[in-house]
Amino acid sequence: MILAGFGAFGSVVGRFLVANGVETTVLDTDSDHVELMRRLGIKTFYGDASREELLRSAGAEEAKVLIVSPATLDATLAVIRTARKHFPHLRILARAKTRVDAYDVLEAGADRVYRTSFDTSLRTGVDAMRDLGFGAYQAHRAAQWFRRYDENAWRELAGIRSDDAHYESRARESVRLLEKLLRAEFHTVRESDEAAWTTDSLRRDAGGEKQ
Q: Which residues of 157-195 are buried (b: 16+ CB within 10 A; e: fewer)?
A: bbeeeeeeeeeeebeeebeeeeeeeeeeeeeeeeeeeee
pLDDT at 187: 52
**Structural domains of the chain sorted by starting position, each given as residue range(s) with its CATH number in brackets:** 2-116 (3.40.50.720), 119-206 (no CATH)
3-state secondary structure 127-169: HHHHHCCCCHHHHHHHHHHHHHHHHHHHHHHHCCCCCHHHHHH
As a whole-number percent, the residues of the chain with pLDDT over 70 amount to 74
- Of 141-145, 151-155, 166-170, the one with minimum mean pLDDT is 166-170
Instruction: Using pLDDT thresholds of 50, 70 and 90, give the confidence band for residue 83.
Output: very high
- Of 33-42, 46-55, 93-102, 196-205, the one with minimum mean pLDDT is 196-205
- For residue 7, pLDDT over 80 is answered with yes
Residue scoring higher pLDDT (204 or 117): 117
pLDDT at 35: 85
What mean pLDDT is reported for the chain?
Answer: 82
- For residue 95, pLDDT over 60 is answered with yes
111-138 per-position pLDDT tens digit: 999 988 888 899 999 999 999 998 888 8
Does the pTM of the predicted model rise above 0.95?
Answer: no
Q: Which of 124-128, 186-190, 193-197: highest mean pLDDT?
A: 124-128
Residue scoring higher pLDDT (161 or 26): 26
Residue scoring higher pLDDT (159 or 118): 118
Instruction: Using pLDDT thresholds of 50, 70 and 90, give the confidence band for residue 147.
Output: confident
- For residue 17, pLDDT over 60 is answered with yes
Average pLDDT over residues 69-74: 94
What is the number of alpha carbons within 13 Å of residue 36 lying toward its C-beta?
12
